Structure 1
Amino acid sequence: MRPEDHRPPATPVVGAAREVAAQHLSPALLLHSERSWYWASAFAEVLGFGDLDRELLAVAALLHDLGLAEVFDAVRAPYETAGGHVAAVLAAGAGWPATRRQRLVEVIERHNWPEVDPGLDREGHLLEIATGLDISGARPDVLPRDYLRAVLAELPRGDLGAEFGAHLVDQAARKPGSQAHRILHGGVLERLAHHPLEDPALLRPAD
């Protein structure tokens, strides 16, 4: 398994999503969004999920944290809901029908659920476990170590832990009924501070 075998679909809407993410997200959040695609695509291979809307999944991965950008930060709506609807506007401009735009909103919203049943939503399940790996360090042993190392070399984590933790603290304080509040009080700051993807043993090149 190699990153070059898991590049996102080279379609205009994926390119536009990458451009929007780069314009509005910090460098650390942009790299997190890009890694989320690579983790999701690799999980799909490991789990044998062949029947996927890969373009939709790539757009969702790239834009799933757009609601954390200051210009899109909603006063009351959870950041994943706000970001999902901004992503749907981009998809409308790309000519996606209403049903597919709604799927995009669902996948982005569901990435913050405690668990997404793949029988309900395969793309939502993949984004949920991909972001779970990148943020909470869940399932670090499912993907091949060489693949993890190669993706991290190409898309380093930087100061994601501190930055994303600060966003969660802010979102949870302003939106106490949100998934951000649940995630924060589930101990994510501790997991971000001691993340398995930042283990020097993992990052060290193989002999």
Structure 2
Amino acid sequence: MATSSNLRLRDLKAPDSRASIAAYELAADYHSPALLNHVLRSWHWARGFAAMESRSTFDDELLYVAALLHDIGIVEPFDNHTLSYEEAGGHVAVALTTGAGWPRDRRVRAKDVIIRHNWAAVDPSIDLEGYLLEAGTALDITGARSGDLPSSFVGEVLKKYPRLTVAHEFTACVSAQAERKPSTAAQRIVDSGLEQKMLKHPFEAARSE
């Protein structure tokens, strides 16, 4: 397992289970290249934080499936009229993992992890996978804890999964969610300065140098 002293992209192998493969295929089919790279980076960042914090008891298949599907609710075919996009994505994960034969409790866990990625913080003692996904997505979207992972690892991930137009695409998608569903987390995210955080993201600055 990758540790803080030897964290390399090549050591992070995506699970090859039925659910993991299906989650990747679904994300690839419905996400733009920029959003697909975002969800893939989010899993890598989550795994990176796990290594840096010596956390080894997480369920990587669960984390991977949740990471790949955590934003599926912002794409039009899965956009829900009333539910938040993270709740909609959680239900997509339930459907996918049901087909993969996951027991009900684990299917619910996938939904919970996706919903909690939009929490302001997640207690790792309560939900380790939710904590890791929140940390990974926060890094990729707002730049939170951008200095906590080794620069060599960050560079490898960004080279393989470049940011492309994610700053503009994600801002537009979440802003549309907030406008139509102002009582959901999307509104809080927009109000917290999403657009400027994404445009001034340290990884965006590095990309333009």
CA displacement, residues 14-64 of structure 1 (integer Å, 9 cap, x when unaligned): 111100001111111111001111000111011111101100000000010
Residue 150 (structure 1) aligned with residue 156 (structure 2):
yes
Hey, what's the Cα distance between the residues in 2 that align with 1:70 and 1:9?
27
**Contact 2:41–2:161 (Cα < 8 Å) also in 1:** yes
Asked if residue 15 in structure 1 is aligned to residue 50 in structure 2, the reply is: no
Is residue 127 of structure 1 aligned with residue 136 of structure 2? no
Which consecutive unaligned segments of at least 5 residues does structure 1 have?
none
- 2 CA distance for matches of 1:77 and 1:203? 36
Q: Work out whether residues 136 and 195 of structure 1, in 8 Å CA contact, stay in contact via their aligned partners in 2.
A: yes
SS in 2 for 1:182: helix
SS of structure 2 residue aligned to 1:199 = helix
Give the C-alpha shift of residue 199 in structure 1. 2.5
Give 1:74-153 correspondences, 5 Å limit: 74-153=80-159
Alignment partner of 1:176 out of 178, 182, 197:
182
Post-superposition shift, 1:7? 2.0
> TM-score, length-normalised on structure 1?
0.96
Q: Deviations over 1:116-155 (max 9, x none)?
A: 1111100000000100000011000110001000000000
CA distance in 2, matches of 1:169, 1:188: 9
Q: Distance in 1 between matches of 2:155 and 2:126?
A: 31
Give 1:73's match in structure 2, choosing from 50, 58, 79: 79
**Within 2, Cα distance between the matches of 1:92 and 1:9?**
17
Q: 1:47–1:203: structure 2 CA closer, same or farther, 3 Å change rule? A: farther
Question: Please, what TM-score do these two structures have when normalized by structure 2?
Answer: 0.95
Amino acid at match of 1:54: D
Q: Distance in 2 between matches of 1:26 and 1:115?
A: 27
Identity of aligned residues (%): 47
Aligned to 2:3: none
Question: Considering only aligned residues, what root-mean-square deviation do their CA atoms show, in Å?
Answer: 1.1
Paired position in structure 1 for 2:169? 163
8 Å CA contact 1:13–1:59 kept in 2: the answer is yes
Match of 2:67 in 1: 61
Equivalent residue letter for 1:155: Y
User: Post-superposition, which runs of at least 4 consecutive aligned residues in structure 1 deviate over 3 A?
Assistant: none
Q: Which amino acid aligns with 2:205?
A: D
Q: CA deviation at 1:203?
A: 8.1
1:66 offset after TM fit, Å?
A: 0.6
SS in 2 for 1:141: coil
8 Å contact 1:149–1:203 — kept in the other structure? no
